[in-house]
Amino acid sequence: MKILLASSEVEPIAKTGGLADVCGTLPRELERLGHEVVVFLPAYRSVRRAPVPITATSVQLAVPVGSKLVTGRLLESRLPDSQVVVYLVENEPYFDRQQLYGENGSDYPDNCERFVFFCRAVLEAIRLLDLEIDLIHANDWQTALLPVYLKCELDATSPYENIPSLLTIHNLAYQGRFWHWDMLLTGLDWKYFNWRQMEFYGQLNLLKSGIAFADAINTVSPTYALEIQTSEQGYGLEGALQHRAGVLSGILNGIDTRAWNPRTDPHLSMNYDLENWREGKAKNKATLQQQMGLKVDPKIPLIGIVGRMASQKGWSLIMPVMQHWLATIDAQWVVLGTGQPEYESAVAALRNKHSDKLGINLSFSEPLAHLIEAGADLFLMPSQYEPCGLNQMYSMAYGTVPVVRRTGGLADTVVDTNDATLERGTANGFSFNAFLPQALEQSLARAVWTYQSKPDVWQRLVERGMTSDWSWSQSARKYAELYERTITLFRAERQHV
């Protein structure tokens, strides 16, 4: 198959979050499976610092945006260690800016216009480059107009335009909502501005538009695909998603096993694998305890937390439990994260009171994140919602047992420990349902009790996590299957028309 993947972020060229990881890794894995992938990305200012060579092409674009004809140019690059071609859509006024989407906490006011241009430029580039594309894979609201243009505007008899589309939702909280007059920028007929298609409570909603028109939709875990169809987690789009339930599925992200491998990780004080994890983890635990100013003690359970300090990550549960445990229970905590000031200051205050049991680092540190994954005994991730989540998979790959809330990708990767799951050999962590501190505390207590009193069970949990396949190759195979299904269905429907 020949796939066109369009995204507003692609690692290692432009990144603000997990979207970039998926769109940087998936194309390379698909190439390994024998598929051809071409990637499109805006040429932001930051691409000049990218660790890949970028060259100019002679391809000039001119596309309508509202009443203007806007010009641009294509640059070309490649994803590292691959033949995957990346086309960067250049338009300096739109993309030569300090950030990707906004500055100082405010979105750029012309974000709708910027991504209308980008989507139109991608479609125009197919024609100009004479690409034969079997499917267009759009990602999140920034590229969600691609399925809309394919269905509503283009000439279905043209080989360049008779293309099915898949829309991946990486986080439903971000939808690309704009005032209704931005509909004019899209150039689409006002008849599409209705509650079934592009309109959302009086506004233009780009993600909703993509949901309405894509041939297939997926999210980054099977459970999240179900959860977003409920009013609790649908952010108002549950109805639109229920309407497309027949073509909505979930595929878990993988982890980058080159960067996250305890055998080769350069950030660890000792590398280890399944054969010597006890020794390896003990060594890293001692280094971590030392670095964080905690007592160096191999026996005391060490609980690690890494991530954004946002409500989504369950800080309203973590704070009361941590406070209670620091005062009453002999366990150590290490926190690495930045985010909402109220959580940062609450953790800092606890650190002042319990510096013997709590180590904190309120910054972004890749090396420390790796050391925590290796040195902690338990990893805590009680998220309120979690489209996929990476940290729980890193933990398991490093033999660190996760304690998580059973939601989204956490529900799909962490299997709670009980008699039945132990018998089946599937147990790899601890999980709970209710978004309540008491539920977290119970799970954490079960985990610590198992760590201290059931070393044989603990060994099974650690080894189950370390031997599971969290790599991208599995996920890429599932994407290839989804592409194939979508193309077959699309072609079959066309034949009937």
Chain residues in the site for ligand ADP (CB under 6 A): 17-18, 306-308, 336-338, 364-366, 369, 388-391
**Element at 332 (helix H, strand E):** strand 332-336
Q: How far apart are CB 396 and ligand ADP at their closest, in Å?
A: 13
Please tell me what DSSP assigns to residue 126: H
Between residues 250 and 389, which has the closer beta carbon with respect to ligand ADP?
Answer: 389
Cα–Cα distance measured from residue 436 to residue 432, given in angstroms and rounded to the nearest whole number? 9
**Residues ≥6 apart with Cβ < 8 Å to 81:** 28
CB atoms within 10 A of CB 493: 11
Closest C-alpha among 207, 63, 187, 185 to residue 139: 207
Q: CA 179, CA 239: separation in Å to the nearest integer?
A: 21
For ligand ADP, the closer of residues 116 and 388 by Cβ is 388
Q: How far is the CB of 309 from ligand ADP (least distance, A)?
A: 8
Q: Which two tokens stand for residue 455?
A: 């070393």
Query: Got the DSSP string for 221-262?
Result: SHHHHHHTTSTTTSTT-HHHHHHTGGGEEE----B-TTTS-T
Q: Are strands 203-205 and 177-178 parallel, antiparallel or unpaired?
A: antiparallel
Q: Which helix (H) or strand (E) holds 283?
A: helix 277-291
**Amino acid identity for residue 245 in this structure:** A
Helix axis angle for 206-213 and 145-152, nearest 10°, is 50
Residue among 203 and 316 whose Cβ is closer to ligand ADP: 316
Contact 40, 87 (CB under 8 A): yes
Closest CB 380 distance from ligand ADP, rounded Å: 12
Least separation in angstroms between CB 120 and ligand ADP: 29
Among 214, 244, 251, 210, CA closest to 229: 244
User: Can you say whether residue 41 is alpha, beta or left, with left for phi > 0 and alpha for psi between -120 and 50 degrees?
Assistant: beta
CB of 170 to ligand ADP, least distance (A): 9
Helices (H) and strands (E) in the chain, counts: 18, 20
Minimum distance, C-beta of residue 14 to ligand ADP, in the bound complex (Å): 16
* In the complex, least distance from residue 258 CB atom to ligand ADP, rounded to whole angstroms: 14
Residue 299's alpha-carbon distances to 281, 344, 376, 448, in angstroms, are 12, 28, 12, 11
Write down the least CB distance from residue 337 to ligand ADP, Å: 5
Q: Which is nearer to ligand ADP, 46 or 312 (CB)?
A: 312
- Closest to ligand ADP by CB, 18 vs 465, is 18
Between 11 and 182, name the residue whose CB sits nearer to ligand ADP.
Answer: 11
Give the residue with the Cβ less far from ligand ADP, 147 or 389.
389
Nearer of residues 250 and 337 to ligand ADP, judged by Cβ: 337
Q: Is there a contact between 360 and 326 (Cβ–Cβ < 8 Å)? A: no
Nearer to ligand ADP, 308 or 478 (CB): 308
Looking at the Cβ atoms of 307 and 382, the one nearer to ligand ADP is 307
Minimum Å gap between C-beta 370 and ligand ADP is 8
> Does an H or E element contain 286, and which?
helix 277-291
Closest separation in Å from C-beta 397 to ligand ADP: 12
The answer to whether 355 touches 333, Cβ cutoff 8 Å, is: no
CB-CB contact of 218 with 481 (8 Å): no
Give me the least distance between CB of 223 and ligand ADP, in Å please.
Answer: 14
Angle (CA) 406 408 409, round 5°: 95
Give least dist CB 207 to ligand ADP, A.
Answer: 17
Residue 17 or 187 with smaller CB distance to ligand ADP: 17
User: Which residue number, 13 or 255, has a Cβ lying nearer to ligand ADP?
Assistant: 255
Strands 68-78 and 55-65: antiparallel
